[in-house]
Amino acid sequence: AKDEGGNTHYCYVPSLHANAEERRKLELSLRRAIGQNELELNFQPVVNARSETVVSFEALLRWNSEEHGFVSPAKFIPLAEDTRLIVPIGEWVLHEACREATRWPDDIKVAVNVSGEQLLEPMFANTVVRALADTGLAPHRLEVEVTESVFLRDGRTARQTLEEIMALGCSVALDDFGTGYSSLGYLRTLRFSTIKVDKSFVQGASQENQESLAIIRAVVAMARSLEMTTTAEGVEDADQAALIRELGCTKIQGFYFGRPMKAIEARSLVVKGRNS
Ligand code: C2E
Ligand code: CA
Ligand code: CA
Ligand code: CA
């Protein structure tokens, strides 16, 4: 890797090797992460765009590894998906998230991210049933978040499983909308409760960037006519919040209203507010 000379072969192969080695180590650690108590859920508030009161929290996974320190989800989630470790990890997430939500007021939901690998697992709906039954959370308080990519590999199975989950009384949100490659056909037949407008559009939206504005406007209009709500992701300041409200998004999520926080902080946000 030292040789920066013309021969790319010498530069390329060793670094590939190092990456594979690092990846293998990371995978081994991730395999032990649940048992070692290294995984934790953070919760980020989602607010009603008009009243600015908390309507739900999104559960976001954090991994503080003994060997590797804090590892970003952008790194370990794809690894967990590639190795299918996301199946047991995702089951843990579902249980933890439901358990935590039972401590909140009844009108506050919990949103849980579910990867395609989990959704296509036979009996995934049973995993959801079990999480609800074990924790006692009412089904309507659980929202499952999926991205368009779940329809790419095996759209039929993904659709069937989502229908089963909806039949339980849970809601399903379409995450990162506008960033995927799949067709919009599934929007005709699946009753998503919410479309989450990806933060790239939200953060790009301004008077100087009419394109992002136009796209958000179109998504809001489409969601309305399909009787779905919209959540704008990645709202970081008051100007963005005002703009998003003007554009008619139903809900707002972003650092401006709250970062992902520890369970105990999220709890105090909604439990204290009601009692005082
Ligand atoms: P996501 O589902 O789109 O989650 C939202 C991400 O945006 C989170 O990143 C959150 O911290 C970040 N975010 C929220 N508000 C703002 C903001 O105002 N500005 C900016 N710049 N970012 C904001 P995070 O926690 O790093 O998670 C990254 C991704 O990892 C998630 O994206 C999701 O795809 C995946 N992920 C996280 N937890 C889980 C999980 O339990 N299961 C699965 N399957 N995937 C997960
Ligand atoms: Ca999400
Ligand atoms: Ca998202
Ligand atoms: Ca994402």
The whole-number pLDDT of residue 274 equals 52
Q: Whose CA is nearest to atom 30 of ligand 1?
A: 73
**Amino acid 14: pLDDT:** 58
Q: What's the CA gap between 222 and 201, in Å, rounded? A: 16
Q: Which of 113, 121, 142, 235 to mutate to test the pocket of ligand 1 (most atoms within 8 A of CB)?
A: 113
Q: Ligand 3 (ion): which residues have CB within 5 A?
A: 175-176, 233
* pLDDT score recorded for residue 276: 47
3-class DSSP state of 233: coil
| Res. 1 pLDDT band, cuts 50 70 90 | very low
pLDDT-above-90 percentage for the chain: 78
Question: With a threshold of 0.90, does the pTM exceed it?
Answer: yes
Q: Which residues line ligand 1 (CB under 6 A)?
A: 44, 60-61, 73-74, 77, 86, 90, 93, 113-115, 175-176, 199, 234-236, 253-255, 260
Q: Give the residue, by CA position, lying nearest to ligand 1 atom 25.
A: 60
With cut-offs at 50, 70 and 90, classify the pLDDT of residue 133.
very high
DSSP for 169-208, please give it: T-EEEEEEETSS-S-STHHHH---SEEEE-HHHHHH-BTT
The set of residues, in sequence order, having a beta carbon less than 8 Å from that of 108 and lying 6+ positions away, is 54, 55, 56, 57, 101, 141, 270
> Is the predicted pLDDT of residue 128 greater than 80, yes or no?
yes
pLDDT at residue number 273: 53
Q: Is the pLDDT of residue 171 over 50?
A: yes
pLDDT at 7 over 70: no
Task: For residue 55, report the phi and psi dihedrals to the nearest 5 degrees.
Answer: -110, -25
User: In this predicted structure, which of 140-144, 164-168, 218-222, 271-275 has the lowest mean pLDDT?
Assistant: 271-275
Contact 58, 43 (CB under 8 A): yes
Amino acid (one-letter) located at 69: G
Residue nearest ligand 1's atom 2 by CA:
113
Position 147 pLDDT exceeds 60 = yes
Report pLDDT digits (tens) over 173-214.
999 998 877 678 888 889 999 999 999 998 887 767 788 889
Pick the residue whose CA is nearest to atom 22 on ligand 1: 234
| Of the listed ranges 53-67, 97-111, 147-161, the one predicted with least confidence | 147-161
What is the number of residues in the chain? 276
Nearest residue (by CA) to ligand 1, atom 45, is 113
* pLDDT tier at 119, thresholds 50, 70, 90: very high
Q: Stretch 117-126: mean pLDDT, rounded?
A: 95
